[in-house]
Amino acid sequence: AQSVSQHNHHVILSEAASLELGCNYSYGGTVNLFWYVQYPGQHLQLLLKYFSGDPLVKGIKGFEAEFIKSKFSFNLRKPSVQWSDTAEYFCAVNDYGGSQGNLIFGKGTKLSVKP
């Protein structure tokens, strides 16, 4: 069965620090990859996605992620975090051509940014 691992449960950073959140998945076939974010008191929303093409994808609010197929990884990065980036971040995978509505989520990483 597919699985998604997010190795950091809680990350605490100061403003302007760089961010990298790890995500690894277990699936040998073609995958679609996603990062979702849940700001405090708000619903989950899409941050960025990878379907095909350039393995470096850019999302909203200055976030980017790099798909490294050989490492089964899809790490999220941001060069300089802001207090408003405090949220929970979820990596997710959907097997290409598989079930239409099934995303497998990692358990999430809480990011706390100190002002």
39: contact with other proteins by CB under 8 A: no
| Three-state secondary structure of the chain | CCEEECCCCEEEEECCCCEEECCEEECCCCEEEEEEEECCCCCCEEEEEECCCCCEEECHHHCEEEEEHHHCEEEEEECCCCHHHCEEEEEEEEECCCCCCCCEECCCEEEEEEC
108: contact with other proteins by CB under 8 A: yes
Please choose, out of 15-23, 46-54, 67-75, 76-84, the segment that lies near other proteins by the rule CB under 8 A.
Answer: 46-54
Of 15, 96, 112, 114, which one interacts with other proteins (CB under 8 A)?
96
Between 21 and 104, CB nearer to other proteins: 104
115: contact with other proteins by CB under 8 A: no
- Owner of token pair 């929970």: 88
Between 28 and 97, CB nearer to other proteins: 97
Of 14, 16, 26, 46, which one interacts with other proteins (CB under 8 A)?
46
**One-letter amino acid identity for 111?**
L
Q: How many residues bind other proteins (CB under 8 A)?
A: 24
- The residues of the shown chain that bind other proteins, judged by CB under 8 A, are 32, 34, 42-46, 49, 51, 90, 94, 96-108
